[in-house]
């Protein structure tokens, strides 16, 4: 049977539906700030903080073209409260606490607020990415490290997952955990290994891959209509029903990087994840945590 491994259909509609992904691969040459300005410190010192993270307004290191599209915002008090609660919920589990610590140790301590996500296209010009709600950002030299949240992230404020028990995690909490796992996986030190490739098993028979493509189009439609819980349910159903729980969601199929973030976020937040994932996948995460320097 022919296998397809994490295909990225070039330029097709399917490419655009992956709204949850890191921009770590986006090589952005940030404007170098002068002299001895410390890296990872775009936030003013009086910015609100929580559990080692700083709430910074959007900043413009990526240049004026990026900034004009992404549109920096200030944090509203209710938004800070939502993210504080999400950080607490993530840190309530052992794995979530480890993820939080490692993300911070990798220099991701700044949470920025923008209206939109903007990414470079093939011609090197920025474009707004309406399906991306959060981004783990590093520039080319990895001097600037931030997690950026958009208006669309906050539109999901009360939406919940219905496969993780009652009441189920908030989608915003999972999205933030997913980004923190990207921050742990800096330079794909975990998701880029041959061992993770073996345990993640992203190879799909062609017919199953077509199912995944259909689900992604459905998600794009539902998210475009603001039906976030229904879009999430479609994604989760693919992993939990079609694949009998082996993958947490359809977006895990986007790439090994995305799979690592989705597995990690669900192991931290979903009490059902441990009995659904394959034993060797669980072992991989246990070893990752126990052997980390």
Nearest residue to Zn ion, scored by beta-carbon proximity:
21
Q: How far is CA 31 from CA 66, 114, 126, 144, 289, in A?
A: 12, 18, 15, 10, 35
Phi-psi sector, 73: left (phi>0), alpha (psi -120 to 50), beta: beta
- Rounded Cα gap, residues 279 and 11, in angstroms: 36
Indicate if the alpha-carbon torsion angle 29, 30, 31, 35 is positive or negative: negative
CB closer to Zn ion, 7 vs 46: 7
**By C-beta, is 47 or 159 nearer to Zn ion?**
159
- Footprint on this chain of Zn ion (rule: CB under 5 A): 20-22, 258, 261
In 3D space, the residue among 98, 154, 114, 45 whose CA is nearest the CA of residue 288 turns out to be 98
Closer residue to Zn ion (CB): 20 or 215? 20
**Min separation Cβ 49 and Zn ion, Å:** 24
Using the minimum distance from each CB to Zn ion, give the nearer residue, 33 or 142: 142
| Least distance to Zn ion, CB of residue 200, Å | 14
Shorter beta-carbon distance to Zn ion: residue 20 or 43: 20
| Contact criterion met (CB below 8 Å) for 22 and 257 | yes
Shortest CB 178 distance to Zn ion, Å:
5
| Closest approach of Zn ion to the CB of residue 255, in Å | 9
For the CB of residue 21, give the shortest distance to Zn ion in the complex, in Å.
4
Q: Classify the C-alpha dihedral 57-177-235-3 as positive or negative.
A: positive
Strands (DSSP E) contained in the chain are 3-5, 49-50, 53-57, 110-113, 118-120, 126-128, 134-138, 145-149, 203-205
Helix (H, G, I), strand (E, B) or coil at 285: helix
Q: State both tokens at 269.
A: 């937040």
Q: Is 20 or 69 the residue whose CB approaches Zn ion more closely? A: 20
User: Would you mind telling me the total number of residues written for the chain in this entry?
Assistant: 293
Dihedral of alpha carbons 237, 153, 151, 12, sign:
negative
* CB nearer to Zn ion: pick between 109 and 259: 259
Least separation in angstroms between residue 64's CB and Zn ion is: 27
Nearest approach in angstroms of CB 1 to Zn ion is: 28
């Amino acid at each position: 049977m022919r296998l397809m491994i994490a295909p990225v259909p070039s330029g097709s509609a399917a490419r655009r539906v992956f709204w949850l992904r890191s921009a770590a691969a986006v090589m952005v040459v940030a404007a170098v700030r002068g002299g001895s300005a410390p890296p990872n410190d775009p936030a003013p010192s009086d910015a609100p903080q929580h559990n080692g993270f700083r709430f910074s307004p959007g900043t413009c290191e990526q240049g004026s073209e990026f900034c004009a599209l992404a549109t920096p915002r200030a944090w509203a008090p209710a938004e800070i409260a939502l993210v504080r609660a999400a950080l607490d919920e993530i840190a309530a589990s052992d794995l979530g606490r480890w993820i939080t610590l490692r993300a911070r140790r990798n220099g991701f301590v700044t949470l920025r607020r923008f209206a939109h996500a903007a990414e470079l296209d093939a011609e090197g010009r920025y474009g707004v990415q309406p399906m991306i709600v959060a981004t783990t950002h590093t520039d080319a030299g990895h001097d600037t490290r931030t997690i950026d949240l958009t208006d669309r992230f906050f539109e999901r404020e009360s939406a919940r997952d219905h496969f993780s028990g009652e009441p189920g995690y908030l989608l915003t909490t999972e999205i933030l955990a997913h980004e923190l796992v990207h921050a742990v996986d800096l330079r794909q030190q975990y998701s880029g290994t041959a061992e993770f490739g073996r345990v993640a098993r992203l190879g799909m028979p062609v017919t199953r891959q077509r199912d995944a493509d259909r689900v992604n189009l459905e998600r794009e439609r539902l998210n475009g209509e603001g039906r976030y819980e229904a879009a999430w349910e479609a994604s989760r159903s693919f992993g939990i029903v079609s694949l009998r729980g082996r993958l947490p969601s359809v977006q895990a199929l986007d790439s090994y990087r995305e799979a690592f973030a989705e597995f990690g976020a669900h192991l931290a937040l979903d009490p059902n994840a441990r009995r659904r994932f394959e034993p060797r996948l669980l072992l991989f995460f246990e070893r990752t945590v126990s052997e980390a320097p």
